[in-house]
């Protein structure tokens, strides 16, 4: 029995260490500073309580239209929120980094995957100097890691 437990633990560790798609960081809506308190109340009435829930509900234009009709939040705002929670799929990117990356001109994970780490670093530094979003900015190496992860993130937000 002990041997089975050890083998199972080793298998779990191996799976966790294998390179693959980025693992989403899930946040409660109340922990996302880019979701207003009013929006949060409207979303929670529809069962949307976390970033993953929101991502599932705004993936397609028809889903955004349906949620807009139920909540009164505009389709455009739902698309923006979808892009923000899309970036949260990347390990290491939290709400403040979402705002910083977007202020640097990169709106979603697919766009992030197309960036150069050095160019993005310069844009992030400029955006943070302009908007004072974060007390720390990501290093070029961290941005390169996020860019690599973004290339493996499944496209979940359809724009058309």
pLDDT tens track, the chain, 160 positions: 666 556 655 444 444 444 444 445 689 999 999 999 999 999 999 999 999 999 999 999 999 999 999 999 999 999 999 999 999 999 999 999 999 999 999 999 999 999 999 999 999 999 999 999 999 999 999 999 999 999 998 877 787 7
Q: How far apart are CA 98 and CA 1, in angstroms?
A: 46
Q: What is the DSSP letter of 59?
A: S
pLDDT (0 to 100) of residue 5: 57
Task: Give me the pLDDT at residue 13, please.
Answer: 44
Contact between 123 and 104 under an 8 Å Cβ cutoff? The reply is yes
- pTM here is 0.81
145 neighbors 17 (Cβ within 8 angstroms): no
């Amino acid at each position: 029995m002990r041997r089975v437990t050890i083998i199972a633990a080793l298998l779990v560790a191996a799976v966790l260490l294998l390179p693959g798609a980025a693992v989403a960081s899930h946040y409660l809506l109340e922990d996302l500073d880019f979701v207003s308190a009013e929006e949060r109340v409207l979303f929670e009435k529809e069962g949307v309580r976390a970033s993953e829930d929101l991502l599932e509900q705004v993936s397609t234009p028809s889903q955004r239209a349906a949620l807009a009709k139920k909540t009164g939040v505009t389709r455009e705002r739902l698309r923006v929120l979808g892009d923000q929670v899309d970036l949260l799929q990347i390990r290491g990117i939290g709400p403040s980094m979402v705002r910083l990356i977007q202020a640097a001109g990169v709106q979603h994970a697919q766009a992030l995957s197309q960036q150069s780490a050095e160019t993005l670093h310069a844009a992030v530094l400029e955006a943070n100097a302009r908007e004072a979003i974060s007390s720390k900015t990501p290093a070029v190496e961290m941005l390169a890691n996020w860019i690599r992860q973004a290339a493996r993130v499944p496209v979940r937000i359809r724009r058309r």
